[in-house]
Structure 1
């Protein structure tokens, strides 16, 4: 929800896609659509830099894009069915309606352990996945099937050392990729990385990493070019000078 208050839906979807692809790279069992679920964003009526209607439009656009992404990458969508009257401050769920979340999650976990479960209204499966459930079963006898050797997946065939090496290579490639989206700023002598992180969090700027700064040169790494450009607009060239950071801290302590 917080992301949709400050970031365009299309940009958030790109981040979600990268996250899902990275997670599935490391955990192959999540390639099954039922083993990975993402929740639709419920309405929010507390905009940050836009009007309430623009925020709601952005949330709706995000949810539409998320459903399309689920069809493309094959994962499950959960819908908590939260409406405005379920929120106590126009953004957070009222405690007495938490049962809606619990029921949706329970239905989802129930669908993982019960064979051929009915699709709950709170669980949206990709259309291709639903069609696969109705595919006729094989006419082979159970004995014949059980006697056939089961082929192990490529992931199961690799030894732990190979898996560890591949993961290290993947993480290295990701770090190199993120270096392409690097935002440079000068940092004051009295400013620490913790100050920088707090200011980024305050401005709801999502970054991938902040390498150690050298001689007052600060580099902030982002996952995408869009994220870098958005941060560039929010952070003036002297955002992390001693004077600006001290002034910001003073306002936070008031």
Structure 2
């Protein structure tokens, strides 16, 4: 079974994001970029499936700008067998929308004959949480989202999902789309020897036009702004004063 893992290039989660002065978007100049953390968990899970003998090949796919090669090399260094880069934009500020990504991934899945797609539940830059679900609809495959545990049992995948009320375990028929949550695993660090080996692993480059997919944006970002600064707290002498303050602010 081939496992396909979509990975996205995003601003590193340790970096404090800066908004452009004109509010037109996020400033990416000289900013460290890395693999979306949820996608990193998906790559780790795919590699574990291969190590357990459940999967035969792990293929990492990225859709975006040429610089996403670095992200794919990270996936290869972690243990993915090969990678596919679909160049769909020239400007690093252009974010390919979920529907376009899902359409391209559907073509790649059909071309590669994958039996399982493991994806991060969302990207930390736009928090869309939509690509996996859209891909499931396009392919007509089963889907299981927010996975915190995954087991492949014959023709089915048993997935434990994180829901508001706790945990929910479901069984879905393969082939399937599984989007992963934070607690599924702890991604490994790529060792120096594996980083060197990754440079020799296959990385195919294609374009959105090769798949006949239009990636023109359907959404227009009107304005980007930073969140409001948190106001300082206030120390009160006793409970009665606290209650009075809460009533004054309409909280209780």
Identify the TM-score tier after normalising by the shorter chain: under 0.3
- Larger helix proportion of the pair: 1
TM-score by length of 1: 0.27
Greater relative contact order, per chain length (Cα 8 Å cut-off, separation 6+): 2
TM-score by length of 2: 0.27
Q: Which has the larger radius of gyration?
A: 1
